[in-house]
Structure 1
């Protein structure tokens, strides 16, 4: 959550893939949490950036996405937001353009002098009523969208940019989804990992696009699922440098390596099991204690952008990957190393806007 000079605003980012896989329970819980945040924070401008809209079965998800939007708009807490712009990329038939990104913007009745930019007409226009687009977004002139190139055409990573004028302040909001780590062992082998390098190149490209000379420069907030990961090799070395590592015979059905780190004393307690899609720590408290502060030195993926991108100090535990099982919301999945994937970053000029007001940055 963040504020710009003027009225209270809420910026929220969420990878919503799982809530479409379990709409009866997970989606219901997600909506309840969202409505509670709106009720407590009382924002006048709400910007929600979603990634993986539609979930794994995105080819058949359009009716579910439409139902999700209806439920969101119909919430009691949203009654005062009579103006809205909702863009949900559901053009899954276009492998060259599909990003599965969603951008939802809500404006309260009491908010005046708010305009949205038209990138084709190159001018701002008033926002009247509620408009929702679930489908192709490529012809929508009030946004810029691009799918990021990747060797796999099934990848749905990309970004969407919108521009706003709020009480005299002009700023861009950029929804982003960067590439994930495909293999834990590959990520462990090199520092920085090949995945980190790929994300760095993709983020640099997005920043170049947002700051090029096609339009007047503006402060920007870029928030979404960056898929930033901790430096896995250095983290394991720091935590378990004295541990004994063994390479076990891989499961034939899985066909991947398995590394086991154990204590060197007589108990030989297993500290970590590492596989392509397994990151099983014996003690998850390491990631939650003191909001994961001990792990921050291994959160390095923003370092190449020092002076170009800024962030409020992180004072919350890693946001990924939490369990999706009922009653286990405070536990991490044993699939990936916990990390701060979901972030709100900003340009220098956007940070100057933010410093003028009180702000809160949390999960």
Structure 2
């Protein structure tokens, strides 16, 4: 695994975000593939510190999937692939009976045996504590001192209906600097038709409000402000109306169908001009059936990034490295179709790793060779569920987190 590194090489960090709901729908097939690809990513990048932020832990039916969740956690903590990670912290929101609090978030942190004296923040005592051994926390994370967890206020939810959306924050100190890691899950698009009707869609405004809520919370005056990484399922979507009109169906006849009783939009049908009237795209509430998926895969779909605009609202607050991987959602859940998208949603980069300006300065340093920074997806050619996990691998050198350098002298790599 990571082996011995000199101080000059820095401390290897691997951040991963993964919506794992699909794994618990078909654990016999998908969990093995997912774990294999995750372990391979760890072995390739050889980090000292691994942070895995999961969303929808347990899938759609959490109560029925609880045993699968337990075996998934046990495997991660005891596998040969992770045996050199002698310390771990696992935080699972398992309180599914509490509609007011349940987020289905899971945050996993693994520390390599060569990383000495890493510390984690106790939010109640307001001080750092040395990380020793392996611990798993679940049920009522609201009272766990080493995490800050919140579900979004009910009036933030579209139509004020509860769903599993919120955030979990942890704080760490290593390599002479300290930083926050925030696991986040924002609101999805409930209907392709509603998303189409206005540009930008009403769903993007709900996500914007919730993300600002998180940023305000993690930068308020209760604790020292530190660099932060926010990674999870943001559910960011492409602006569907201009995507369809200018890229997917630039020369099509549009037929609009409405329901007889309510006159609400029920279907959009796009056909080629001409005698054959070839069907190009059909859109319904939970159907997005486009004739040619290659556009989402060619050159990693990056020609569509001009329609990925939800992050632009946070310019100056949040940064992201250049995206050079295909849209991370919605992939087929058929274990034999690793590169195919489901015909349910317009593919989009939902799963992201974002960072504050000071965190970006930690990642992108002159002494970092370009090849040491990798922002990519996991398992591009195999089925990882409906979301492809996304990772960021980088190294931090001692003092990288200035002005916090030399403040938290807590990490020695031997």
The reply on whether 1:352 has 2:365 as its aligned counterpart is no
- Relative to 1, partners in 2 of residues 1:263 and 1:44: Cα closer, same or farther, differing over 3 Å? same
Q: Which range moves more in the overlay, 321-330 or 221-230?
A: 321-330
Is contact 1:112–1:167 with CA below 8 Å preserved after alignment?
no
The reply on whether 1:307 has 2:311 as its aligned counterpart is no
Equivalent residue, structure 2, for 1:67 = 71
2:226 to 218, 222, 246: 218
The reply on whether 1:269 has 2:283 as its aligned counterpart is no
Measure, in 2, the Cα distance between the counterparts of 1:155 and 1:97. Answer: 10
Q: Which range moves more in the overlay, 242-251 or 29-38?
A: 242-251
Q: Which runs of 5+ in 2 are unaligned?
A: 1-8, 378-414
| SS of residue paired to 2:375 | coil
Measure, in 1, the Cα distance between the counterparts of 2:318 and 2:297. Answer: 26
- Relative to 1, partners in 2 of residues 1:249 and 1:86: Cα closer, same or farther, differing over 3 Å? same
Measure, in 2, the Cα distance between the counterparts of 1:120 and 1:216. Answer: 13
Measure, in 1, the Cα distance between the counterparts of 2:109 and 2:250. Answer: 47
Equivalent residue, structure 1, for 2:129 = 125
Aligned residues: 357
Measure, in 2, the Cα distance between the counterparts of 1:235 and 1:306. Answer: 22
Measure, in 1, the Cα distance between the counterparts of 2:307 and 2:79. Answer: 40
The reply on whether 1:155 has 2:163 as its aligned counterpart is yes
- Relative to 1, partners in 2 of residues 1:276 and 1:93: Cα closer, same or farther, differing over 3 Å? same
Measure, in 2, the Cα distance between the counterparts of 1:310 and 1:104. Answer: 23
Q: 1:239-267: per-residue Cα shift (whole Å, max 9, x none)?
A: 22321011247699xx9711110100222
| SS of residue paired to 1:164 | strand
Is contact 2:185–2:233 with CA below 8 Å preserved after alignment?
yes
Q: Which structure ranks higher in relative contact order (CA pairs < 8 Å, sequence separation ≥ 6)?
A: 2
Equivalent residue, structure 1, for 2:350 = 341
Deviation at 1:138, TM superposition (A): 1.2
Is contact 1:21–1:55 with CA below 8 Å preserved after alignment?
yes
The reply on whether 1:200 has 2:208 as its aligned counterpart is yes
| SS of residue paired to 2:181 | strand
Q: 1:285-341: per-residue Cα shift (whole Å, max 9, x none)?
A: 111111112101100001110011000010111010010102111000000000000
Q: Which runs of 5+ in 1 are unaligned?
A: none
Q: What do you get for the CA RMSD once the two structures are aligned?
A: 1.5
Q: How does 1:217-296 map to 2 (within 5 A)?
A: 217-239=225-247, 240-248=249-257, 257-296=266-305
Measure, in 1, the Cα distance between the counterparts of 2:66 and 2:137. Answer: 11
- Relative to 1, partners in 2 of residues 1:327 and 1:348: Cα closer, same or farther, differing over 3 Å? same
Q: Which range moves more in the overlay, 146-155 or 53-62?
A: 146-155
Measure, in 2, the Cα distance between the counterparts of 1:198 and 1:167. Answer: 37
Q: How does 1:1-20 map to 2 (within 5 A)?
A: 6-20=10-24
- Relative to 1, partners in 2 of residues 1:43 and 1:155: Cα closer, same or farther, differing over 3 Å? same
Is contact 1:176–1:224 with CA below 8 Å preserved after alignment?
yes
Q: Which range moves more in the overlay, 58-67 or 180-189?
A: 58-67
Q: 1:124-182: per-residue Cα shift (whole Å, max 9, x none)?
A: 00011000123221111101000012245540100000000012110000000000000
Is contact 2:256–2:265 with CA below 8 Å preserved after alignment?
no
